[in-house]
Amino acid sequence: MNKLLVLVVFNFLFTSSVAIAQTSLVVVFPSTNYQTSTEKIFFIGTAPANGQVLINGKLISRSKTGHFSPSFPLQVGENLFKVTDQNQEREVKVTRLSTQPELPQELGFAKDSLTPAADIARLPGELICFGAIAPPQATVSVKLANQTIPLSPQPPQGQLPANSGVLTGRNQPTPSSPSKYQGCTTVANAADLGQPQFSLTLNGNTATQLGQGKIQILTPAKLPVTEVTVASGVARTGPSTDYSRLTPLPKGTRATVTGREGDWLRLDYGGWINSKETKILPGAVSPQTIIRSVGYRQLAGATEIIFPLQVAVPVSVEQSDDRTFTLTLYNTTAQTDTIRLDDDPLISRLDWQQVAPGQVKYTFNLKKLQQWGYRLKYDNTTLVLTLRHPPHLEHRKRLPLSGIKIVLDPGHGGKESGSSGPPGYLAKDVNLVLSKLLRDELVQRGAKVVMTREDDRDVSLVERQEIISYEEPAIALSIHYNFLADDSKVEKTRGLVSFWYHPQAHSLAIFLHNYVVNKRLEPSYGLFWNNLALTRPSVAPAVLLEFRLMSNADEFEEIVNSQQQRKIAKTLADGVTEWFKMVK
């Protein structure tokens, strides 16, 4: 579909939505029976521009074409809102859920407050801690095998907001329940201790409840060994998806299991992994390896570093902006005397050191600041690190991006519609429009552009990542339109948001963000490091851009302006061109 036809289709879709909105009152968000835990809620909708819209009798401000996005406070429990426009009315019920556990009316513990809440396994002598929420002035304890562990009332602690709080400036802790009881113990010998029994006594009455999780103390001489069975095992700092990601573990990685919590395994080097991504190796002993020589080979567009090992051990990667790339091998002891590294287009020097028992660190000193991506895999027990060389620019004046491959990812698609604007226009559609305009601009400059989707279809996040990994582009850009949390002040929030994850993408994110903002096409909402699926690919610098807010009535006027869309696409393509000139 050519550029003109794309714009015609876009304008048809938008004007159709507006035509519907002009004859009726539409509330796009929140839905009729909506639940949230936030203190405020915003409304997104539209109505004929020549009327007046009231929410619970309060006149609200709207954009020139009748769109609105005001915020209202919420009380805990049910909140009823009546949205009226002349003789039309919409009723919306929003339930604000309490974030504090509620104690039962009868003597007992707060629902789901007993911890540990899942089966756990620990080493002998390790702390095992218990927690519960119970009425003030109660006497609380836990019976575990032949021990009785008293739980003491704890002073109030801060309750942390979700990670998304940093996007709205609402990332300050709030006071937690003052009725939390905690206590810890240790067990010296291996044993299956079963479920702990919690007990609370208040005013002469006692209530007991079994904990949900069983407790096991592992045998140090017989710790299980696990092997990663997926292409890229997700390692984290703790036992749930709430915890931060570490360097993914390549398929075949082996490690000793030193603890367990529910489905999550604690590995000997410190990371946690979901057991569904591994298999236990019966009878295997704790994986340890030595390393001697380290070699390399040059490929077309990349340098491969070869680490021969006896067993595939856990690894981590650290990139920095001072021309270094660091690889750490765990459960590894160096016997290294010789490393071969001839003059390389990418690497100036390779340093190594045994930084701790069982931990060897390799630092690659690079010739240029900008890094262009890497791959990490095991070939049997040999670790292969592939460092990509800079892309080759052909320096054609009329085609300044000749020789450059770029992956464009129009966000959402198919059943994943993304956010919605005031008249019900979907982010997946405007993402595709802007991406196609940007593709045409980049192609005119000589770039080869690969799209993760070119129509309205379902493409999973994993499939999008696989396209980037397979294509090995010079850069990857994911195009989105923004939508903030329930309690954000959308009527006062504006601008471009840019996200990066790997340090190799930092320069690209900052440059493109500032380039668009300085051209006065978009205000700046901010630059953020963020662990997103489309910023995580390591094979190339990857950036995700959020252009304005679908939920802001005034911003939406800019979003659906076809002239503004063309300007953004051209300016962004110019920014990409200038960035390549700068980093070369």
3-state secondary structure 358-382: CEEEEEEEECCCCCCCEEEEEECCE
- Backbone angles phi and psi of 428, in degrees to 5: -60, -35
Tens-digit pLDDT profile for residues 524-541: 889 999 999 999 999 999
Radius of gyration of the chain, Cα coordinates, nearest whole angstrom: 28
Select, from the ranges 13-27, 46-60, 336-350, 538-552, the one with the highest average predicted confidence (pLDDT): 46-60
**Rounded Cα–Cα distance for residues 138 and 377 (Å):** 55
Average pLDDT over residues 378-407: 92
**Distance between start and end Cα atoms, the chain:** 34
Alpha carbon distance 245, 235 (integer Å): 6
d(Cα 535, Cα 527) in Å, to the nearest integer? 13
Q: What is the largest CA-CA distance in the chain?
A: 88
Q: For residue 565, what are the contacts with CB-CB under 8 A and spacing of at least 6?
A: 7, 10, 433, 434, 437
In b/e form, how buried is each residue of 94-115, taking b as 16+ CB within 10 angstroms?
bebeeeebebeeebbbbeebbb
Rounded average pLDDT over 347-369: 95
How confident is the model at residue 12, as a pLDDT?
35
What is the pLDDT at residue 553? 67
pLDDT in tens, 42-74: 898 899 988 899 999 999 998 888 888 888 999
What is the structure's pLDDT at 179?
Answer: 82
Q: What is the pTM of this model?
A: 0.88
pLDDT over 50 at 20, yes or no: no
Q: What percent of the chain has pLDDT over 90?
A: 71
pLDDT tens digits, one per residue of 246-294: 999 999 999 999 999 999 999 999 999 999 999 999 999 999 999 999 9
Question: Is pLDDT at 129 greater than 80 in this prediction?
Answer: yes
pLDDT at 493 over 60: no
